[in-house]
Copies of this chain bind each other. A is one copy, B any other.
Amino acid sequence: MKRLSILFFIIYSCLPLWGEELLSPDGRLKMTFGLKGGDTPVYSLEFDGRRVIDTSRLGFRLNDGGMHDWFECISIERTTIDNTWEPVWGEESQIRNHCNEMTVFLRQTSSDRRMNIRFRLFNDGLGLRYEFPIQNSLRYFVITEELTEFAMSADHTAWWIPGDYDTQEYDYTESRLSHIRGLLRSAISDNLSQTIFSDTGVQTALQMKTDDGLYINIHEAALVNYPAMHLILDDKTLVFKSHLTPDPNGDAAYMQSPCNTPWRTIIVGDEATDILASRITLNLNEPCKIEDTSWIKPCKYIGVWWEMITGKSEWSYTNDLLSVHIDTDDLTSVKTHGRHGATTERVKQYIDFAAEHGFDAVLVEGWNIGWEDWFGNMKEDVFDFVTPYPDFDLPHIETYAKSKGVKMIMHHETSGAIRNYERRMDKAYSFMKDHGYDAVKSGYVGNIIPKGNNHYNQSMINHYLYAIEKAAEYKIMVNAHEAVRPTGLCRTWPNLIGNESARGTEYQAFGGSKPFHVSVLPFTRLIGGRWITLPAFSK
């Protein structure tokens, strides 16, 4: 892949008071950056002269002071980026990355701290991120609040789900922005772990439509070692403020310079399809970090799970244990309740079905010990990821699947016990490779251990990527369920094949979702990764 970049550098000694403009390559989008009141960074965005984002603040609160005013502009750099790259998988063989870039180098006069804001303006939207160069006065710092705003120009229609630190599995609500507060409580459905934080908090990707037909989508790209961003609406001013998932101490992010935040993205288009066609999210992620990607092959699979979801069988094996001690219990001496789904015979039926109907693989949930009391107990040693139930003959199934040309997909439910999963991860991945499994569906049902953590805080974001990177070492593909909504990381780590980070097909067994649900998902959940696993129903 040849990189074609044309670079322009224009250095300013000082920023004009009226703002510094950046145009998209086609000139239709215009981003304006300025220092409001002479010291407070702000930006705005126009599309064909129509306001997309009104003047909006940029900056942070740190635990030792603000990083949102007292700024002076040291210089500005401009570049045009134009190259193409080849995704390891997906609908396209090549993706064009074409934008005008402007980096504003700021210095806070009160603290002598430096912060740069990098803007990339594509024909279909804007990405902006904060960068902190290494410096004496900002080596390690704690972000308590990100102040990035997205000021809406009018009371748009939005497709939104409630902001939550622990779940993304909500039905979408279509409403005016001004109606979010009134509708939010009724938009909350039960989940096994959920933490609502605001009456006007919503999740990204947030899809909006203006009354004059403009489509606006707000999300983030390249969420690495930073908490996931939510949006809280000030419904008097129609300004969205970013809101980061806090850690157990109430802080947002621990940072070490040099470092940067994820990209904040605003996709804009005349047509709804423009939103879907945008590749901003992938383009703002880093190139692939896996050298040999030959083993990464998306596939179609069926799974032994729907029959458990619908209550026809169980993940668990027995009713005879009051509680399970995975490291010491011997389940071969325990009577089964006879409703275990993942039996050898049943799995072989699935393998036969897959082979017959053109599915590449079979996922099996409930194959491993621990499901008798896996949920709701804040139990740390909940699964060991290597011990099958007595009626699941793993070597036999391995051989049988191979004979039918069907791959087996591993299942690692963690029950939110992160330390337990990380401690056992090497053995679990080794076990997979020893038995011919190249892909794992992981799960994070329930409240997180270590206690006090939520699914989308910095520490957990770190974990999800740790699991992906370690999987890559073992040449294992990952589909993470209940992990954070994707932000295009599958470009950098293409072994992150999928993310079930939405209200999925399983809800068809729990009363269903709204009729428009799967038609809204491409504009919301799928913005961060164009692929979602929609497992086929069992026969």
Contacts and interface: CB of A to CB of B under 8 A. Distances in A.
A380 B373 CA distance: 32
Interface stretch (A3-11, A135-143, A151-159, A288-296): A135-143
Interface stretch (A52-60, A189-197, A418-426, A520-528): A418-426
Interface in A242-281: 247-249, 251, 254, 256-257
Contacts of A139: 322-323, 373, 377
A405 interface: no
Interface string A192-217: 00000000000000000000000000
Interface of A: 134-136, 139-140, 142, 247-249, 251, 254, 256-257, 322-323, 325, 373, 377-380, 419, 422-423, 426, 450-453, 459, 462, 466
A249 B451 contact: yes
27 contacts: A134-B323, A135-B322, A136-B322, A139-B322, A139-B323, A139-B377, A140-B323, A140-B373, A140-B378, A140-B379, A142-B378, A248-B248, A248-B451, A249-B451, A251-B451, A256-B323, A256-B325, A257-B322, A380-B462, A419-B419, A419-B422, A419-B459, A422-B423, A423-B466, A426-B426, A450-B452, A450-B453
A31 to B, nearest CB: 32
B135 A452 contact: no
A500 to B, nearest CB: 25
Given A452-B248, A452-B452, A134 B322 contact: yes
| Most chain B CB inside 10 Å of its own CB: which residue of A140, A248, A323 | A323
A378 B257 CA distance: 13
Contacts of A256: 323, 325, 377, 379
Contact of A451 (B247, B323, B379): B247
A334 B450 CA distance: 38
B134 A248 contact: no
Contacts of A377: 139-140, 256
A470 to B, nearest CB: 9
B451 A380 contact: no
B453 A254 contact: no
Contacts of A251: 451
Contacts of A254: 378-380
A249 B134 contact: no
Nearest to A381: B256
A530 to B, nearest CB: 30
Contacts of A422: 419, 422-423
Contacts of A380: 254, 462
A452 B136 contact: no
Nearest to A247: B451
The 4 closest A-B CB pairs, nearest first, are A248-B452, A140-B377, A450-B450, A139-B323
